[in-house]
Amino acid sequence: MSIRVQRIGQEIKKVLSARLLRDYREELTCFTTIGDVEVNKDMTHAKVFISVFGSEEDGQRMLKVLQNAKARLRFEIGKEIKLRVTPDLSFALDNSPQRAQRITDLINGNKN
């Protein structure tokens, strides 16, 4: 992946993180972060990974909120980042925190 594509992914992450905190505070019933943004080579699509520290239902609900706000978020990205084409967004849950906690529990001897 080129450095430019990585930088655009980082900028998208900044814009989305700021929008989550500012515009979607009511919907954030659990701790939610933008984990990573993968932008394809031609910069027409960006896959956004979100981490939700809560139940599986909280994660699914947050995905639904973001899917419903996709057009607005894409507009905000286009306004903040000057690109020829604003990437289309897709959202996915990043289960890394849950996997890390499970591994920690196994190491510590917890069998939950």
Task: Enumerate domains of the chain plus CATH numbers.
Answer: 3-108 (3.30.300.20)
Structure-block tokens of residue 28:
């954030």
pLDDT of residue 10: 95
CA–CA separation, 103 vs 106, rounded Å? 5
pLDDT of residue 82: 87
Give me the residues of the chain with pLDDT under 50, please. Answer: none
pLDDT of residue 67: 92
pLDDT of residue 56: 81
pLDDT of residue 54: 76
pLDDT of residue 28: 66
Pairing of strands 88-93, 31-39: unpaired
* Among candidate residues 100, 83, 91, 87, the one with its CA nearest the CA of residue 34: 91
Q: Counting every residue, how long is the chain? A: 112
pLDDT of residue 21: 80
Report the chain's terminal Cα–Cα distance, integer Å: 39
* Among candidate residues 39, 31, 36, the one with its CA nearest the CA of residue 13: 36
